[in-house]
Structure 1
Amino acid sequence: MRLGLIGSTGHWQSYAPALDQITGLELVAVASTGPEESTGAFDHAPGLTIDTRRYDDALRMLETERLDLVQVCGRADRIPAWTLRCLERGLPVIAEKPLAMDLTTLEDLYKTAQANQAPLVPMHTMRGVPELASVHRVVRAGAVGDPLLSFSQKSYKWGRTRPASWRSRDTFPGIAPWAGIHAFDWLHWILGDVFTSVSGHEGTTAHPDFPACASQASYVLTMRNGGVASVTLDYLRPETAPTHGDERVRIAGTLGVVELALADRKVTLTTAQEPPRTLSPDPQLDLFTRFARSLQGEGPPPLTLHEACRITEIALKAQLAADTQQAIPLTDSPYHTP
């Protein structure tokens, strides 16, 4: 399997575990997504050999190389265009999130992937977290009954600074499609496509010099069964905290409650029939390996095209809700998967 990399921004080394999992996976070519990147960033890329070719122009790589799979990991505004160019050629793509910066571009990607039968998977890598997988298992098994209320948190350290591209919505999509998309993804994965509307509020109080990215944000999603799912996002985690991130999930239903504190690697289930007990994690294959195996006919992809676009749509509409201070409907979606 011949792999090409476009971009060295973000989680671009996520393909590394697959090199040991997929027989014959070969890194044949790498390219930058734009002038802000250099092919020198690939000097220590996993799987790099003397035969791996480097391109300053990713389009030339696509026109020259015979590829079986492309990974796109560039600045947020670069991702959609390069993903589209791959899909137009019928190439399978795994791309950094979000897939698109706006709903129109998302629809273009969806239609192009369908027309060319080109598999497309976003890098929703938290589906590979064993503790989240155990939450998914017990909720889907009915252990908490009908889920009616959930709380999801993603809190991160800001660090010394952030890229200049985070200052403008021309180059940064907002906190909801950037950090929040992982929470919207795990809610969709665990609860299903049950959301009917989203509202949101956010502010840049802690980092006003980066107006495109909120330092604190909160969203509320209504559900078909009358339930409510809330999501909070922030870049307020103190630098002295033991981990970079603090992700938490609580799902309460008619029969019980399951809670996850990921920084502590702890999942607890409490039901009417039994007191709190700690759940063991469910080991998961990494997202890239699952995608690559699906291309070889070894199981389904980690996300379907409908799922990938639906979750991206929810994240984009959550950002729109916060920007406009209006509740945005999530029904009547071309990507809805009952």
Structure 2
Amino acid sequence: MRLGLIGSTGHWHSYAPALDRIPGLELVAVAAAGPEESTGAFDHAPGLTVETRRYDDARRMLDAERLDLVQVCGRSDRIPVWTRLCLERGLSVMAEKPLAMNLTTLEDLFNTARATGASLVPMHTMRGVPELASVHRVVHAGAIGDPLLSFSQKSYKWGRSRPAFWRSRDTFPGIAPWAGIHAFDWLHWILGDVFTEVSGHEGTAAHPDVPACASQAAFLLSMRNGGVATVTLDYLRPESAPTHGDERLRIAGTLGVVDLALADRKVTLTTGQEPPRALSPDPQVDLFTRFARSLRGESPPPLTLHEACRITEIALKAQLAADTHQTITLTDSPYRSP
């Protein structure tokens, strides 16, 4: 399989584990996603060889190379542009999240992928976290009954600075589609497509010089069964904390509660029949390997096109809810699974 890379921003090393797991996978070409990048960033790219060709213009790479799949990891506003160009050529794509900066562009990508038959999978890499997989397992096994209430937290250190493109909504999508999309993804994965509306609030008090990204935000999602899911996002984690991130998940149902503290690698299940007990993690294959195997016909894709666009839609509408101070419906969607 001939792999091309567009962009060296974000989680662009995600393809690396697949080099050892997919026979014949080779990195044949790399390209900058825009003038803010340099092909020098690929100097130590996993799988790079003297035969790997470099392009300053990704369009030239797409025109010149015979590729089987492409990974797109550029600045947020560049992702849908390069993704669409790949899909139009019938090339399957794994793209950094979010897939699009707005709902119109998302629908265009959805229609393009359907028309060409090329696979499109977003980089929702937390589906490879073993502890989240164990939560998925017990909820789907009915251990907590009907889920009625959940709390998801994603808290991160801000660091010394953030890239310049974070300062404008023209180049940065907001905290919900950026950091929050992983939480919306794990809720969709674990609970299903059960959300009917979303409201949200955010502020930039801690980092007012970067107005496009909230320093703190909270979202409330209503569920079809009368339950609610809350998601909090922040860049307020102290620099002295032992880990960069503090991600948590609690789901309460009619028969029990499951709690995850990812920084501690700890999952606990409590039910009416037994006291709290630790759950063992469920080892997972990385997302890119699963994507590549699906292209070889060896397994289903890690996310379907409908799932990928539905989760992105929820994240974009959550951001819209915070921006407009309105409750946004989630029931009328072109991405619900057929």
State the 4+ residue runs in structure 1 displaced beyond 4 angstroms.
Answer: none
Shift of 1:336: 1.3
Identify the residue that residue 257 of structure 1 maps to in structure 2. 257
Q: Partner of 2:5: helix, strand, or coil?
A: strand
After superposition, where does 1:72-221 map in structure 2 within 5 Å? 72-221=72-221
Identify the residue that residue 325 of structure 1 maps to in structure 2. 325
Identify the residue that residue 48 of structure 1 maps to in structure 2. 48
**Aligned-partner Cα distance in 1 for 2:302–2:267:** 23
Q: Partner of 1:260: helix, strand, or coil?
A: strand
Could you tell me which amino acid in structure 1 is paired with residue 175 of structure 2?
I
Identify the residue that residue 20 of structure 1 maps to in structure 2. 20
Q: Partner of 2:212: helix, strand, or coil?
A: coil
Identify the residue that residue 62 of structure 1 maps to in structure 2. 62
Identify the residue that residue 223 of structure 1 maps to in structure 2. 223
Partner deviation per Cα, 1:152-175 (whole Å, 9 max, x = no partner): 000000000000110000000000
Q: Partner of 1:93: helix, strand, or coil?
A: strand
Could you tell me which amino acid in structure 1 is paired with residue 211 of structure 2?
P
Identify the residue that residue 34 of structure 1 maps to in structure 2. 34
Could you tell me which amino acid in structure 1 is paired with residue 37 of structure 2?
E
**Percent of aligned positions with the same letter in both sequences?**
86
**Aligned-partner Cα distance in 1 for 2:253–2:334:** 29
After superposition, where does 1:225-244 map in structure 2 within 5 Å? 225-244=225-244
RMSD: 0.5
Could you tell me which amino acid in structure 1 is paired with residue 54 of structure 2?
R
Shift of 1:180: 0.1
**Aligned-partner Cα distance in 2 for 1:11–1:306:** 23
Partner deviation per Cα, 1:247-303 (whole Å, 9 max, x = no partner): 000000000000000000000000000000000000000000000000001110000
Identify the residue that residue 278 of structure 1 maps to in structure 2. 278
Could you tell me which amino acid in structure 2 is paired with residue 8 of structure 1?
S
**Aligned-partner Cα distance in 1 for 2:299–2:327:** 38
After superposition, where does 1:298-337 map in structure 2 within 5 Å? 298-337=298-337
Shift of 1:337: 2.7
**Aligned-partner Cα distance in 2 for 1:161–1:298:** 43
Partner deviation per Cα, 1:47-100 (whole Å, 9 max, x = no partner): 000000000010010000000000000000100000000000110000000000
Identify the residue that residue 293 of structure 1 maps to in structure 2. 293
Could you tell me which amino acid in structure 2 is paired with residue 215 of structure 1?
S
**Aligned-partner Cα distance in 1 for 2:143–2:317:** 31
Task: Give me the TM-score of the superposition, normalised by structure 2.
Answer: 1.00
**Aligned-partner Cα distance in 2 for 1:336–1:245:** 31
Partner deviation per Cα, 1:85-128 (whole Å, 9 max, x = no partner): 00001100000000000000000000000000010000000000
Aligned length: 338
Task: Give me the TM-score of the superposition, normalised by structure 1.
Answer: 1.00
